[in-house]
Amino acid sequence: MTPSFPIAEEPDAFAKEKGRMLFAGETEFLKGVVAMDGMPPGDRCEVCFAGRSNVGKSTLINAVTGRKALARASNTPGRTQEINFFTAADSHYLVDLPGYGFANAPVAVVAKWQKLLKAYLSGRANLRRAFVLVDSRHGIKPVDEEIMSLLDSSAVTFQCVLTKTDKPKKGELDKTLEQVRGALAKHPAAYPEIVLTSSDKGIGIETLRTLIATLS
């Protein structure tokens, strides 16, 4: 039976508290990695965030962690060329993957990023989930399909997170959800729930915190 990909429900008070506690302490930048030999030990639960450039990834990571400038948002698409690791308490890694969908990046640079990304996804046994961010105004694009197919082949469970959901009107958001659900149904690694978020309005932030905190 094809999953319907419902919207993730708001967590209960107990689950929310678990998510709050994870990020109540220090969340710090650990290191930026440009090659597999620079990866930190896989000794804790790890989640990663992927999304095309300008999807609002850095802003969402900052909102989830409650740190305004933890992940650096750039006005230049594709500027961040490293896999950036952050620590949450002593139990989790949060990983910010390089943005994709940059038409102006040199072919050699894109090829290098893709090689590193493939090695990372297939080489981190402690990676519990990838959050694939999709702009709610635009839906899933071909570049998103590429990363989802890569996650399929790497056997990494991924969950779709719609960003900027305060921007489109309800009818437009419903159309995006229909398109996203149709696209996700083709991917065996897709987790059967969608998270709606808005960093500006705080929508879905507690839900994401809870999801991360309950993975182990």
Q: pLDDT class for 100, splitting at 50, 70, 90?
A: confident
User: 59, 105 in Cβ contact below 8 A?
Assistant: no
Tokens found for residue 133: 């961010």
Q: What is the pLDDT of residues 15-43, one digit of tens each?
A: 999 999 999 988 999 999 989 999 999 99
The confidence score (pLDDT) of residue 103 equals: 55
Report the percentage of the chain scoring pLDDT > 70: 92
- Tokens of residue 141, six digits: 């694009």
pTM of the predicted structure, to 2 decimals: 0.93
pLDDT digits (tens, 9 = 90+) for 141-164: 998 999 999 999 999 999 999 999
Listed residue (61, 56, 101, 88) closest to 74, CA to CA: 56
H or E segment and range at residue 148: helix 142-153
Query: What are the φ/ψ torsions at residue 196 (nearest 5 degrees)?
Result: -95, 130
* Rounded Cα distance, 22 and 109, in Å: 35
pLDDT tens, position by position, 116-150: 899 999 999 999 999 999 999 999 999 899 999 99
